[in-house]
């Protein structure tokens, strides 16, 4: 879609999105996924609007980094906070810097975030949520503005909360099929996604619905999209252990080690500000979970401190 104006409604059905995850879906990981078999859309790690400097290029903010690039896959910036004026100003800058779209986080269940009134905390303050949405619309009138949220705060609230958001007519609405207080416990309730789709259809609104929660494979996602009627699917945690998720191929130990090598090389080349390579351990542990290689080398992996340590560990 390079050179084209991005539109959620023009994506193939069902389309796939890599879900934003803090300290996971940075530019390097997105590039790794892109090289192995990309989804239709990438979303950045979320950025708190109140913490963005009022002057200077957004390219200096690591979470809004776009290097290395992912040609052909639109990159949407996810933002969160509580001050409409700050949303407006950041939206203006995102449009000026050529982002594909803006996603407003109204679903993060982390206690620190929701207790501040941001993320899923906005479920309790719909008037503020509305003001934030229209501030982003006003700041970036040329960009699609989407929302990511949960079913409700303590209980599913399709008619109230999701109905309220649908009436705002965002360009896309991602629904994680849990409530805020559930965090990531229990199972995602995809029956509730069906209700969101039905409500959207009754309202006569064209907003694409993106289902999110516990997706473990492309096949499972396609089957669920057919069952519930959603246009899009968002995978997140499963991609951490399977960055080849969208390739739909069987990956053996040798290929997993090659993925780790590729991630390490990308990190060494593109990481900004001398980021600590130990951040990579969680990825390597996920890629190699359950393998004999990890059983043999876990101690060395856990003790690795530097890029050199990792390079030695994964050379074969």
Note whether 78 and 20 are within 8 A (CB).
yes
State pTM to two decimals. Answer: 0.95
What percentage of the chain reaches a pLDDT higher than 90? 87
Q: Which domains does the chain have, with CATH numbers?
A: 8-247 (3.20.20.70), 253-313 (no CATH)
Residue 119's Cβ-count burial label (10 Å; 0-12, 13-18, 19+) is buried
**pLDDT tens digits along 60-77:** 888 998 999 999 999 999
Average pLDDT over the chain, rounded to an integer: 94
User: What are the beta bridge partners of residue 172?
Assistant: 146
**What's the average model confidence in pLDDT over 117-132?**
98
Alpha-carbon distance values, 143 to 18, 99, 100, 167 (Å): 19, 8, 7, 19
Say if residue 118's pLDDT is above 60: yes
Q: Please tell me which residue, 105 or 249, carries the higher pLDDT value.
A: 105
Helix 253-270 vs helix 27-37: angle between axes, to the nearest 10 degrees?
140
Say if residue 298's pLDDT is above 80: yes
The structure tokens listed for 169 are 């007519």
**What's the average model confidence in pLDDT over 183-198?**
95
User: What is the model's pLDDT at position 316?
Assistant: 63
Q: Please tell me which residue, 81 or 313, carries the higher pLDDT value.
A: 81
Can 262 be counted among the known catalytic residues? no
User: What is the model's pLDDT at position 237?
Assistant: 94
- What sign does the CA torsion over 258, 287, 103, 55 have? negative
User: What is the model's pLDDT at position 1?
Assistant: 38
Q: Measure the CA angle with vertex 28, ends 24 and 34; round to 5°.
A: 100
Block residue for tokens 């509730």: 192
Instruction: Give the 3-state DSSP-derived string for the chain, with helices as H, strands as E and coil as C.
Output: CCCCCCCHHHCCCCEEEECCCCCCCCHHHHHHHHHHHCCCEEECCCEEHHHCCCCCCHHHCHHHCCCCCCCCCCEEEEEECCCHHHHHHHHHHHHHCCCCEEEEEECCCCHHHHHCCCHHHHHHCHHHHHHHHHHHHHHCCCCCEEEEEECCCCCCCHHHHHHHHHHCCCCEEEEECCCCCCCCCCCCCHHHHHHHHHHHHHHCCCCCEEEECCCCCHHHHHHHHHHHCCCEEEECHHHHHCCCHHHCCCCCHHHHHHHHHHHHHHHHHHCHHHCCHHHHHHHHHHHCCCCHHHHHHHHHHHHCCCHHHHHHHCCC
């Amino acid at each position: 879609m390079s050179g084209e104006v991005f539109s959620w409604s023009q994506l193939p059905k069902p389309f796939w999105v890599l879900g934003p995850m803090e300290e996971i879906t940075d530019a390097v990981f997105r590039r790794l996924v892109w090289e192995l078999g990309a989804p239709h859309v990438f979303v950045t790690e979320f950025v708190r609007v109140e913490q963005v400097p009022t002057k200077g290029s957004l390219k200096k903010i690591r979470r809004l980094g776009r290097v290395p690039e992912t040609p052909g896959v639109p990159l949407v910036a996810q933002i969160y906070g509580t001050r409409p004026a700050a949303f407006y100003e950041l939206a203006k800058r995102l449009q000026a810097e050529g982002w594909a779209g803006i996603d407003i986080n109204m679903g993060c269940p982390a206690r620190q975030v929701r207790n501040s009134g941001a993320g899923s905390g906005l479920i309790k303050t719909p008037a503020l949520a509305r003001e934030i949405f229209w501030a982003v619309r006003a700041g970036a009138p040329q960009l699609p503005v989407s929302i990511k949220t949960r079913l409700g705060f303590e209980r599913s609230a399709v008619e109230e909360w999701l109905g309220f958001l649908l009436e705002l007519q965002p360009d896309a609405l991602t629904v994680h099929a849990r409530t805020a207080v559930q965090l990531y416990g229990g199972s995602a309730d995809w029956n509730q996604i069906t209700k969101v789709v039905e409500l959207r259809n009754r309202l006569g609104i064209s907003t694409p619905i993106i289902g999110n929660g516990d997706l473990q494979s492309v096949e499972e996602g396609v089957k669920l999209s057919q069952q519930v009627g959603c246009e899009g699917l968002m995978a997140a945690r499963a991609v951490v252990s399977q960055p080849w998720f969208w390739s739909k191929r069987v990956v053996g130990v040798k290929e997993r080690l090659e993925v780790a090598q590729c991630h390490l090389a990308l990190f060494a080349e593109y990481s900004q500000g001398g980021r600590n390579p130990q951040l990579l351990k969680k990825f390597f542990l996920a890629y190699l979970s359950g393998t004999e290689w990890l059983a043999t080398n876990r101690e060395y992996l856990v003790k690795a401190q530097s890029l050199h340590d990792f390079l030695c560990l994964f050379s074969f």
